Amino acid sequence: MKKSRNLFQVFVIIAGMFFISSKAYSQECGPNCPACSGGSSGGIIAKNNLVVSVLGIPASDDEYAVTNIRYGVFKWLDVGVGYAFKAKKPIWSLRIKALAEKEDKWYPGVIVGTGSVRTGGNDQSVYGMLTKTIEFNEKFALQGYVGAASVFKDFNQPFFLSGLSAIFFEKFTVFGSYDGKNFHEGLSWTVTDNLTLSALMIETRYPALSVSYRFDLGKKK
């Protein structure tokens, strides 16, 4: 049973990446971003959860507004579709938790996916990263990732990815990331279990605001 599930995950990875790379033009907030994922850690969206987000970058030369809808298909897979207003192009993303983190284990989690990894950019990339969350207590946790990515059209030129988030009281997140080209910083506030507000500095110079709302479609009424 476990072997069949692993084979299914591999099939989804390959099929999803080939489909998206042939159809899509991506422009979003980057992988594992707390602002776009509807949560403080920026991890995979929970199963049967739908997250709607809007990112506004009014001063940017590349894109001034991006909207996304992302859905947790399984506990190890989320997919997304959206729209970049200036580019007038659709957005597609797919993230797979190939290996889940465990609090009592030293090893990191593994996430692979395809989408835009350069915040405010318009690349379509494939990427893989190692993630690790360390909870010191209920008031403070650190979450970081390191990885590599390649733009499909320049697949033979991989670049480095990294990010670090400090989570306070499970509600406030201070985060920074490097996408192989630029640094980005932000502050995210989980107002309720469903609503997240964020302020970002794209490339450390363009101010941006993000609003995301999570719908738990699997919740029993």
pLDDT digits (tens, 9 = 90+) for 18-51: 333 333 333 445 555 655 555 545 578 889 999 9
Class of domain 2-215: mainly beta
| pLDDT at 142 (0 to 100) | 92
pLDDT above 60 for 140: yes
- Whether this prediction's pTM lies above 0.85 is answered by no
pLDDT tens digits along 70-100: 899 999 999 988 787 877 777 788 899 999 8
Handedness of CA 165, 189, 36, 72 (dihedral sign): positive
**In Å, how far from its chain's centre is CA 137?**
25
DSSP class of 44 = P
> What's the mean pLDDT when you consider all of the chain?
79
- Six-digit token pair at 110? 């593994």
Q: Is 130 exposed, middle or buried (0-12, 13-18, 19+ CB in 10 A)?
A: middle
pLDDT above 60 for 216: yes
What percent of the chain lies above the pLDDT cut of 70?
77
Taking CA 154 as the corner, what is the angle to CA 150 and CA 156, rounded to the nearest 5 degrees? 70
Domain residue ranges in the chain: 2-215
| pLDDT at 213 (0 to 100) | 93
Cα–Cα distance, 85 to 89 (Å, whole number): 7
**Lowest-confidence range among 26-35, 98-107, 132-141?**
26-35
| pLDDT at 124 (0 to 100) | 73
What percent of the chain lies above the pLDDT cut of 90?
29
pLDDT above 70 for 123: no
